[in-house]
């Protein structure tokens, strides 16, 4: 976190229409600089100067994906980490196709999704409902398997989050259920992982684990302050926490388990 | 409300760019699952699996309307209710054309608008200013007449809301003026009506009336808590109320009058 | 401010995808009526009936700029003031091109940007990072020079804001650093200047100075109330202040210096 605040990384967010504002405010809160650019006329230029690229297909279109692939290739050429968030993959054939296309044409550093989405990326059947789907799956096994198959770091978020690069496997138990009651908290998490990856590009598992623990602790603290009020207050207080949380406090409250 | 929270209906929102985030957060607050999908490459698939479809033309485009018509026809085939919110119709010829097109090509279950918008749908002249326009009109008569002409349930919102299916006419007096000071409260109301319609598809007048009363009571409660602070606080507290309100409390505070 | 609240000007916002909601809520808070319309099928009609037009290129596309030019020409024909916010110009060649195009084809009344953006409009090299870039520049000199070169009123925002029409030069010292921690505060400021310009079209320097002082005082007041909580609370309280601030209070707290 201190590294993010000191280095103020520029995160090029190609994210969905619903969560842009919340993502930008969350990234500003943690000390990163968000920039949004979507047109094929400039995404390569923007991806080249940014410190990391976030690709999120929450409201996908054909032109949007063309632009994402251009940006992704530019980020690859510039050696900048790419975080891919396959929102709602499994819900429609279109999202399956474009997810495959992005994974084929772009060298992704970290993939983040819920269990249903990660299973869908592997072609496994599951019941995905909208973008907050849950499937019955052994999340840890799924994470390890996906990381091997996709050859990236994989983050499976859920009640307990799992992170793997195909060899290591780490579980993060922080977080709160109310995160699922605010739209874009998963999408912003992708941005926060991008910010951590931008300042620690050579240890992506650590970057993802620290981002998850930090994020989860902020949610827990925000819930404690707003549980009597409701999720409108939670959303605002969560942004306060993202801005105020220190590495020391996050380290003291984190619940991280190295599994292998 | 309890039905919504138990059934957690999936609402496919094809709404405008300004209010997507607020709409999604409001639907999550009441216990529904929002999903946004706009591309013609997937709107039919999404509309088929969702429990209701919201069409809102607040920031219209030709491609967007093509997509809406595809989604609407798919929802019709699947027997899912469609709520149409003709935002700003009357303000430009383009909005008049696309509103006609949607009403001609799609079988809409509920139309929601302010008096100016509903009058414009009927081809009646009025002074519509932006998207919060008001015209002089006998709202109840307008509502009944529009429901007959459009052969749908019509909701005319204003100081007192009116709901009609062309035979019944119900007035709902709940609500607060500060709702007009937060962008997207009308649009979110369309989403809330969609959620109620999804769980009560065979009694759409009741669904709309209950949604209006619930929504209005939440606004009244939020105003009481924030009137000394201002509309920024009102917006947040309104989301708290949407999440916390019970059927019992809403029933005790509702001001509903069956007119015919 | 009282003029805005009395006249309730309709502001046609062609702004970026990230800040639409915040811009609309901020304009509602000050008593203006925002309307968003982007499609070439209706932007001319909307610009003709609105009282001012805001052009903001924060998330630009080729079609979007075509639409902006159409709207701009229609606003020019109707004699309505246009506020241009060249977000991120200097960051990519595309933003440089479209900024030139808008300034060439449309008669802009006020240009608002940070020092890096205004310098980029003049073709001066600078280090622009994302959309919150800072460059070393004598801001007042830059403002005067830009106003002469562009033949518009120019607003350069920063720690101290500068306003010039090429002859007069005014500095406004109000504001707070936390404004840079909430996305869209610069963009909303463009909308607020548009609202002031709509009700004072013949004294645009005064309109811009009053808008800046008002806006800055609201930020200072919001910071005082939320500095112990954080920037999530600041964002909400800033909206409260925009709604509650009076001309008298703003006049008492403004820090405005007429330089020439």
Is residue C83 within 8 Å of residue C193, measured between CB atoms? yes
Q: Which residues of B are annotated as a binding site for ATP?
A: 112, 157
Count the alpha carbons within 13 Å of C63 in the hemisphere toward its beta carbon: 11
The Cα C257–Cα C156 span in angstroms is 15
Distance in Å, alpha carbon of C126 to nearest chain B alpha carbon:
33
Cα torsion for A90, A92, A96, A102, to the nearest 10°?
A: -120
Is residue B27 within 8 Å of residue B195, measured between CB atoms? yes
Beta bridge partner(s), residue C155 = C112, C163
Q: Do A29 and C236 make contact, defined as CB atoms within 8 angstroms?
A: no
Q: What is the pLDDT of residue A126?
A: 61
The CATH code of the domain at C2-258 is 3.40.1190.20
Evaluated on CA atoms C117, C123, C126, C128, the torsion sign reads positive
**Stretch C218-227: mean pLDDT:** 98
SS3 content of chain A, % helix, strand, coil (to 5): 55, 15, 30
Burial of C160 (0-12, 13-18, 19+ CB in 10 A): middle
In order of B92, C14, C219, C225, C231, the CA distances from C228 in angstroms are 47, 35, 15, 8, 9
- How many residues does this entry show for chain A? 260
| 3-state secondary structure labels for all residues of C78-98 | HCCCEEEECCCECCEHHHHHH
| B255: helix, strand or coil | coil
**Stretch C53-65: mean pLDDT:** 97
Helix (H), strand (E) at residue A138: none
The Cα C86–Cα A40 span in angstroms is 19
Question: Tens of pLDDT along C70-89?
Answer: 999 999 999 999 999 999 99
Count the alpha carbons within 13 Å of B8 in the hemisphere toward its beta carbon: 7
Whether C173 shows a pLDDT value over 60: the answer reads yes
- How many residues does this entry show for chain B? 260
Distance in Å, alpha carbon of A65 to nearest chain B alpha carbon:
11
Whether A130 shows a pLDDT value over 60: the answer reads no
Question: Tens of pLDDT along A76-85?
Answer: 999 999 999 9
Question: Tens of pLDDT along C131-151?
Answer: 444 444 589 999 999 999 999
Query: pLDDT: is B136 or B86 the higher one?
Result: B86
Count the alpha carbons within 13 Å of C65 in the hemisphere toward its beta carbon: 22
pLDDT category of residue B135 using cuts at 50, 70 and 90: very low
Distance in Å, alpha carbon of C257 to nearest chain B alpha carbon:
31
Alpha helices in C87-175 (DSSP H): 93-105, 115-121, 139-150
Q: What is the pLDDT of residue A23?
A: 97
Burial of C66 (0-12, 13-18, 19+ CB in 10 A): middle
- Give the residue numbers in B contacting A (CB under 8 Å), as ranges: 10, 17, 20-21, 24-25, 28-29, 33-39, 41-42, 45-46, 49, 235-244
Query: pLDDT: is A132 or B86 the higher one?
Result: B86
Is residue B13 within 8 Å of residue B54, measured between CB atoms? yes
List subunits contacting chain C, requiring 3 or more Cβ pairs under 8 Å. A, B
Q: At what angle do helices A231-244 and A204-226 cross, to 10 degrees?
A: 130
**Tokens (6 digits) for B99:** 């509103």
Own/partner pairs for B223-229, CB < 8 Å, 24+ apart?
A: B223/B176, B223/B178, B229/C237, B229/C240
Q: Give the one of C24, C35, C41 whose C-beta lies nearest to B94's C-beta.
A: C41
Give the pairing type, strands C110-114 and C82-85: parallel
Q: Do A182 and B21 make contact, defined as CB atoms within 8 angstroms?
A: no
Which chain C residues are within 8 Å of B181, Cβ to Cβ? 28-29, 243
| B256: helix, strand or coil | strand
Whether B255 shows a pLDDT value over 50: the answer reads yes
Which chain B residues are within 8 Å of C46, Cβ to Cβ? 91-92
Give the pairing type, strands B82-85 and C169-172: unpaired
Burial of C8 (0-12, 13-18, 19+ CB in 10 A): middle
Closest chain B residue to the Cα of A131, Cα to Cα: B35
**Stretch C195-219: mean pLDDT:** 97
**Stretch A176-189: mean pLDDT:** 97
Count the alpha carbons within 13 Å of B150 in the hemisphere toward its beta carbon: 32
**Stretch B94-102: mean pLDDT:** 98
Q: Give the distance from CA A146 to its chain's centroid.
A: 16
Q: What is the pLDDT of residue B129?
A: 45
Comparing CA positions, the residue from B8, B59, B60 lying closest to residue B32 is B8
Average pLDDT score over chain A:
94
**Tokens (6 digits) for A161:** 């989050």
Distance in Å, alpha carbon of C12 to nearest chain B alpha carbon:
9
Helix (H), strand (E) at residue C21: helix C20-30
Whether B131 shows a pLDDT value over 70: the answer reads no
Give percent of chain C above pLDDT 90: 92
Q: What is the pLDDT of residue C214?
A: 98
In order of A185, B171, B183, B208, the CA distances from B242 in angstroms are 19, 21, 16, 16
- Give the residue numbers in A contacting B (CB under 8 Å), as ranges: 16-19, 21-22, 58-62, 88, 91-95, 129-132, 180-184, 229-233, 235-236
pLDDT category of residue A152 using cuts at 50, 70 and 90: very high
In order of B102, B126, C24, the CA distances from C239 in angstroms are 36, 32, 11
Q: What is the pLDDT of residue A197?
A: 98
Helix (H), strand (E) at residue B178: none
Question: Tens of pLDDT along B147-188?
Answer: 999 999 999 999 999 999 999 999 999 999 999 999 999 999
ipTM at complex level: 0.93
Whether B257 shows a pLDDT value over 60: the answer reads yes
Which chain B residues are within 8 Å of C39, Cβ to Cβ? 59-62, 94
The Cα B192–Cα C137 span in angstroms is 51
Give percent of chain B above pLDDT 70: 95
Angle at A218 between CA A21 and CA A4, to 5 degrees: 70
Average pLDDT score over chain B:
94
Is residue C257 within 8 Å of residue C217, measured between CB atoms? no
Phi, psi of B157 (to 5 degrees): -95, 150
Beta bridge partner(s), residue A34 = A11
Alpha helices in chain B (DSSP H): 2-7, 20-30, 43-49, 62-78, 93-105, 115-121, 139-150, 185-199, 204-226, 231-244, 247-253
**Stretch B123-149: mean pLDDT:** 72
């Amino acid at each position: 976190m201190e590294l993010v605040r000191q280095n103020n990384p520029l995160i090029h967010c190609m994210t969905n229409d619903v969560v842009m504002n919340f993502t930008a405010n969350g990234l500003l809160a943690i000390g990163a600089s968000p920039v949004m650019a979507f047109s094929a006329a400039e995404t390569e230029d923007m991806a080249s100067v940014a410190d990391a690229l976030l690709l999120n297909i929450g409201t996908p279109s054909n032109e949007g994906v063309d632009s994402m692939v251009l940006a992704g290739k530019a980020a690859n050429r510039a050696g900048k980490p790419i975080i891919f968030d396959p929102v709602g993959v499994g819900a429609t054939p279109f999202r399956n196709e474009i997810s495959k296309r992005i994974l084929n044409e772009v060298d992704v550093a970290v993939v983040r999704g819920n269990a249903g989405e990660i299973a869908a990326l592997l072609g496994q059947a599951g019941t995905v409902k909208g973008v907050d789907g849950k499937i019955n799956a052994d999340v840890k096994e799924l994470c390890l398997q996906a990381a091997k198959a996709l050859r990236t770091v994989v983050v499976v978020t859920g009640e307990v989050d799992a992170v793997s690069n195909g060899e290591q496997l780490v579980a993060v138990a922080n977080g709160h259920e109310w995160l699922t009651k605010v739209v874009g908290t998963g999408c912003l998490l992708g941005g926060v992982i991008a910010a951590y990856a931008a300042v620690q590009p050579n240890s992506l598992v650590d970057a993802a684990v620290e981002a998850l623990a930090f994020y989860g602790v902020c949610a827990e603290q925000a819930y404690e302050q707003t549980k009597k009020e409701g999720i409108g207050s939670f959303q605002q207080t969560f942004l306060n926490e993202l801005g105020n949380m220190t590495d020391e406090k996050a380290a003291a409250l984190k619940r991280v388990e190295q599994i292998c």
